[in-house]
Structure 1
Amino acid sequence: MTRNQRRQLQKLAERVDRVVESDHRFFERFPDRQYRVRLASQAEIETNAIIEGDKITVAPDRQIYVAVKSVAPRTNLRLIIVGPRDADTDIPEDLAQALYERVNCDKAREIEAQVRLMASGVR
């Protein structure tokens, strides 16, 4: 990662942190939930472009969403999804889980396993 990319990520970090905090509050308010889907913030989209090395392009009738999974208290994983522009994000747990699992990949499952180990205190 270049020095300029690191600087850009630092500038975006505070905005991304606010969005991540909203995910934490969601799961605290709804302790029976483990999944949610919401609109992606511009900061998340820009951060993803820097990390992945390419910008997500979407058709005019599409929009970028984030599927979030709570794996431990205040520990969430987020996956980018492209979907219909007018899709409802106030969806039930089973549908949010199905969307998350649909975009889940081996890399994300490996990260989730590592996060679960760290959250459990195992070293």
Structure 2
Amino acid sequence: MSVYVQNGEEEKSCEVFLQSRKVGIELTYLMVLTVLGFRERVFKKMARRISITWNAMIRRYTHQGHPDMALALFEEMSSSNGKNTPNYVTLVCVLSACSRAGAVQKGMDIFKSMRARFGLEPRPEHYACIVDLLDVPG
């Protein structure tokens, strides 16, 4: 996959990624980030997105200093009629985006809705994000 990306053939890289999923090869979140170098155009070209690809893009936007884009992508993912249900990693990524954006109220609203909206129990990583979110200069 990395060879395809390095040669500007992201579509072929996506095909390899999706084929690996079809035959049962599990790629980790870190593999997707490092091997694909996950670019926006790769994500947009994907016919079928799974949580790992959504999470990779949300994380990428956050770490590149575009938390508002990460939050917008999270909203798109969340409103996809159950096709792409956020998981605990998604929520860590989006709470980090809220922290980076200084969106304290948005982050708290998302955190409070984890159980009801997504059926997810907060984990230590989510609480750590909330601590970071509330640690604003004052």
TM-score by length of 2: 0.30
* Richer in helix (by share): 2
Larger RCO of the pair (alpha carbons < 8 Å, separation 6+)? 1
Which structure has the greater CA radius of gyration? 2
TM-score by length of 1: 0.32
